[in-house]
Amino acid sequence: MSFSLSTIIQPQYVPSVAAALQLTVAVAGTQAAAVPALTSLALWTARFTNVTALPVTLTLYRVASGDAADAASTVVSAITIPVATAANPYFDWSPGYVLAPGDAIWALAGTASALVVTGDGGITT
């Protein structure tokens, strides 16, 4: 087993239709929508930045392997992310999750191309 610190979520727009975020699942930078076999991901912090001129809602789901992004998997329900300012440039979400093989983080923005997300954590293989 090896553990490596990593940018688990490379910069990407949050979709306006619920969809899995692309996760970094290998030290080499491989991207996937779900954690592959024989791997676990620690997601410590995800940073959401509103790049528009209006507030935008954000919904997040922790979807276990074989489950769906539904009410039972909702972990953040339609919160409003304000317009980024010098004093409040982003919203940090620090779940401290360990994702097992097949798990995924899904997201939904109220407006397309309005929120950008990045995230830090670690990869265990």
pLDDT digits (tens, 9 = 90+) for 14-66: 999 999 999 998 888 899 999 999 999 999 999 999 999 999 999 999 999 99
User: pLDDT tens for residues 88-116?
Assistant: 899 999 999 999 999 999 999 999 999 99
Stated pTM of the model: 0.93
CA-to-CA dists, residue 11 to 34, 39, 80, 115, 118, angstroms:
17, 22, 20, 10, 5
Q: How far is residue 83's CA from residue 34's CA, in Å, rounded to a whole number?
A: 30
Question: Would you kindly state where each structural domain of the chain is located, as residue ranges?
Answer: 3-112
Q: What is the pLDDT of residue 26?
A: 87
